[in-house]
Amino acid sequence: MYLITFLWVRPNLVNPRSGQGRIAAVVMVACGIAATLTAPQPSLSPVFLCISSAVVGFAVPLVWANLTVVIHWVVLAIGAARGNVEPQFAAVFCAMVAFCGVVVENSVREFYARQLVASTMADLQEVNSQLADAQGMLAEQSRAEERLRIARDLHDEIGHQLTALSLNLETASHVVQGAGRDQVVGARRMAGDVLRDLRSVVSQLREPAVSFVDRVALLTRGFSNLEITVVGAETVAGVPASTLDVAYRVIQEGLTNAARHAGPARVEVGVEVQDGCLVISVRDDGEGVDVLHPGNGLVGMRERVELVGGTVGWHTEAGAGFRLAVRLPTSPD
């Protein structure tokens, strides 16, 4: 009975004090007490009390675990008085029961401390990613402002001068006669060509040149605990900027999810234009889980993708990591 109960409670000890396995732990305590007090002669039955103290420490809060240790001490005292436990060993078993309780308590605290550290590191990675994103946006904004300044200078100074020159040459072409007129007309045509080229350059300078590859590269540098490989980011030429912005957010959420849950892991990010869609995949080789409960990040990302007519899918299982797959239309319906 004791062995069956132990095998029942054992899988629930992976996540200490989560509320699971408490009934089995109580049954183990009862079985251990019964085995100790019903032994016909002194035996090693108190070992069950030591095991029960350890299991209870994983299954119930600290107060109840300490109470269980005290109960086991009382049981050992009664057993020694009744002859179920050798008196000279009763004190040893009392110490072992207390020792098991202390060791388990330290293990539980270390478990949750590690979880806290992992969660804090993931939060720091996410903040670092956001800061890197903000830094990239500021750098791009600075470049855009510089391009706009140059465009204004070209338009206001050289553009006006070329316009005035073209008008003067137009007037001169109607005044000058003979061979000189052909040269004036040629000069006016050349001035018009230069003016058109200048306007084209100014228009290009006014358009912000956002590089998807650079944004993704800057993003990956913010996740120092992940070994990240990006494949295909340079194949997005011609994809609308609005679609690339959603794709960037998908990759950001995929990396954040890996940093938060996968631990130190290798992550592969794939970007591909396929059948009129931009296909993004983020795959890690972390621990994975059998049952995934999507958090706010994944839910928000799915809403963002579905808003532009895309689809989202993910798959995970224990020991097999996590895979995120997203398809975004490259043109409106």
3-state secondary structure 21-33: CHHHHHHHHHHHH
Same domain? 223 vs 197: no
User: What does the pLDDT average to over 313-332?
Assistant: 84
| Cα 232 from Cα 312, distance rounded (Å) | 19
Block residue for tokens 């069956």: 4
Same domain? 106 vs 173: no
Same domain? 202 vs 255: no
Residue 6, in any domain of the structure: yes
User: What does the pLDDT average to over 146-157?
Assistant: 75
Residue ending a domain, choose from 158, 188, 206? 206
Radius of gyration for the chain, computed over Cα atoms and rounded to the nearest angstrom: 36
Taking only the tens place, the pLDDT of each residue in 226-245 is 889 999 888 888 888 888 88
Block residue for tokens 């670092």: 128
Residue ending a domain, choose from 157, 184, 206? 206
Nearest partner of 260 among 294, 213, 232, judged by Cα: 294
For the CA atoms of 171, 176, 182, 183, the dihedral, rounded to the nearest 10 degrees, stands at -80
How many CB atoms lie under 10 A from the CB of residue 168?
Answer: 14
Taking only the tens place, the pLDDT of each residue in 95-130 is 998 998 888 888 888 888 888 887 788 777 777 777
Same domain? 196 vs 263: no
Same domain? 246 vs 234: yes
Looking only at the bridges linking them, the beta strands covering 265-274 and 322-329 are unpaired
Residue 140, in any domain of the structure: no
| Residues 64-88: b if buried by 16+ CB within 10 A, e if exposed | ebbebbebbbebbeebbeeebbbee
Residue 169, in any domain of the structure: yes
Q: Is the predicted pLDDT of residue 280 greater than 90, yes or no?
A: yes
Block residue for tokens 């296909």: 279
Give the tokens for residue 139: 């750098």
In this structure, what DSSP letter does residue 41 have?
S
Residue percentage of the chain with pLDDT more than 90: 11
Q: Is the predicted pLDDT of residue 279 greater than 60, yes or no?
A: yes
Residue 258, in any domain of the structure: yes
Same domain? 31 vs 105: yes
Residue 132, in any domain of the structure: no
The arrangement of strands across the sheet holding 311-316 comes to 226-231, 265-274, 277-284, 322-329, 311-316
More confident residue, 1 or 79: 79
Q: Which pLDDT score is estimated for 314?
A: 86
Same domain? 192 vs 277: no
Q: Return the top range by mean pLDDT from 46-50, 209-213, 317-321.
A: 46-50
Block residue for tokens 């001490």: 73
Same domain? 202 vs 160: yes
| Cα 206 from Cα 326, distance rounded (Å) | 32
Give the tokens for residue 150: 């140059």
Residue 281, in any domain of the structure: yes
Same domain? 170 vs 220: no
Q: What are phi and psi of 315, to 5 degrees?
A: -145, 140
Same domain? 320 vs 262: yes
Q: Return the top range by mean pLDDT from 18-32, 129-143, 229-243.
A: 229-243
Nearest partner of 136 among 196, 70, 55, 218, judged by Cα: 218
What is the domain count for the chain? 3
Same domain? 243 vs 314: yes
The pLDDT-based confidence of 247 (bands split at 50, 70, 90) is very high
Q: Which pLDDT score is estimated for 197?
A: 77
Residue 133, in any domain of the structure: no
Residue 134, in any domain of the structure: no
Q: Is the predicted pLDDT of residue 208 greater than 60, yes or no?
A: no
| Cα 224 from Cα 124, distance rounded (Å) | 11
Domain extent at residue 173: 145-206
In this structure, of 1-5, 33-37, 104-108, 172-176, the range with the lowest mean pLDDT score is 1-5
| Cα 80 from Cα 163, distance rounded (Å) | 111
Same domain? 200 vs 223: no
